[in-house]
Amino acid sequence: MIRSVCVFCGSSTGSRPEYVAAAEAMGREIALRGLRLVYGGGNIGTMGALARSALASGGEVTGIIPRKLYEAVEHVEITELVISAGMHDRKAKMAEASDAFIALPGGIGTFEELFEVWAWRQIGYHAKPVGLLEVAGFYAPLLGFLDRVASEGFLKPSHLSDLIVDDDPARLLDRLSRAGPPMETKTAERRR
């Protein structure tokens, strides 16, 4: 059962208004479902838009931010702010506090967070669903590349299909809530 959703997104707003609108829609949808939002703790970019939207819609918001970033940025008044020792600790705390993960458009940090939780699911460290919110074709090149990775034998098709992709926040959350455990994990494959 999903009670909290971790959303990875950017400290920038990107070059299209659709990115901020998507972050706001996701924050609103999470709040309206009575789910807790877990995010990177920032008040800028799509991160800030996401948190403000969830709060404005009556949601609970947990931000997890490394001390170094905490000291450098302004903060939105959220339900809970956790200050972590560093980036690794931040990601571990975000994963522990969440029942599902969603990546919105973002930069290197967003990609790194997405790939880490997806790899953890693939390895069997957790069985929490992982999704992408596709906005204005942002993830289309990445999804094409991942198809290539699978066709070249570096990613099993079952692991690729384990990543849930949708362009509608409500539908994506519905699909995540119906997702089961990974179809197969790397550790299970090695035992065979």
* Domain definitions of the chain by residue range: 4-191
**Tokens linked to 115:** 């790939």
Task: Quote the pLDDT of residue 74.
Answer: 62
CA pair distance 116, 31, nearest whole angstrom: 25
**SS3 at position 81:** strand
* 4-191 CATH fold: Rossmann fold (3.40.50)
In 67-184, beta strands by DSSP E = 80-84, 100-103, 130-133, 163-166
Task: Quote the pLDDT of residue 77.
Answer: 85
Task: Quote the pLDDT of residue 72.
Answer: 73
CA pair distance 31, 34, nearest whole angstrom: 5
| Residue 173: count of CB within 10 angstroms of its CB | 25
Profile the chain (192 residues) by mean pLDDT over runs of 10 residues. Answer: 97 97 99 98 94 98 91 78 93 96 98 96 94 98 97 94 97 96 61 42
Strand partners, 101: 6, 130
CA pair distance 36, 2, nearest whole angstrom: 9
CA pair distance 13, 32, nearest whole angstrom: 23
Residue for token digits 């948190």? 51
Task: Quote the pLDDT of residue 168.
Answer: 98
Task: Quote the pLDDT of residue 111.
Answer: 97
**Do the beta carbons of residue 49 and residue 80 sit within 8 Å?**
no
Task: Quote the pLDDT of residue 185.
Answer: 66
| Residue 99: count of CB within 10 angstroms of its CB | 18
Task: Quote the pLDDT of residue 181.
Answer: 80
Show Cβ contacts of residue 128 under 8 Å, excluding neighbours closer than 6 positions: 95, 98, 99, 100, 101, 117, 121
Task: Quote the pLDDT of residue 75.
Answer: 65
Show Cβ contacts of residue 35 under 8 Å, excluding neighbours closer than 6 positions: 2, 3, 4, 5, 59, 173
